[in-house]
Amino acid sequence: MKLKLDVTPDLVAAMAAEVKAGEKAVTAAMTEAGTGLKTAWRGQITGAGLGRRLANSIRLATYPKAGESLNAAALVWSKAPVIVGAHDTGPLIRSRDGFWLAIPLPAAGKGRRGAKMTPGEWERRRGL
């Protein structure tokens, strides 16, 4: 008895084509996910009213730089992490002397000669 097996399409070539398709899919998925995250993060920053310049500090890098890989990766980061982190965590803002920072608002009223009221003048008028 004779048994003959003949694989018509080349199995090695078929597997190489599948690996190539997988590399292309993984690289495209990482690029799309990274771009989506970068766009969403920038949108949150501009939506919070922090400005276009701070939003543009968000960067994206995909690896490998050229070609395709099954181990592709995307890295999204900020070039201004201290500023972005400060708005994210809401740290306490103090004056230069270490006391509370007083910011005069229109509701505080006007100072002498129609100028903005200083914190010291507000304290003297209100006794607080």
pLDDT of residue 107: 77
| Helix residue ranges per DSSP H, the chain | 11-47, 52-55, 81-89, 119-126
Task: Report how far apart, in Å, the C-alpha atoms of 79 and of each of 22, 76, 94 are.
Answer: 32, 10, 25
CA distance 105 to 84: 25
Domain residue ranges of the chain, discontinuous segments joined by +: 1-91, 94-127
Range from 3-17, 41-55, 85-99, 112-126 that averages highest in pLDDT: 41-55
Average pLDDT of the residues in 61-78 = 95
For the segment 88-104, what is each residue's pLDDT rounded down to a tens digit?
787 777 777 777 777 77
Q: Is the pLDDT of residue 108 over 80?
A: no
Q: Which of 74, 83, 36, 38 is nearest to 56 (CA)?
A: 38
CA distance 22 to 48: 39
Which is more confident, 41 or 96? Answer: 41
pLDDT of residue 35: 97
pLDDT of residue 91: 75
Q: Are 27 and 69 in contact (CB under 8 A)?
A: yes
- pTM value is 0.64
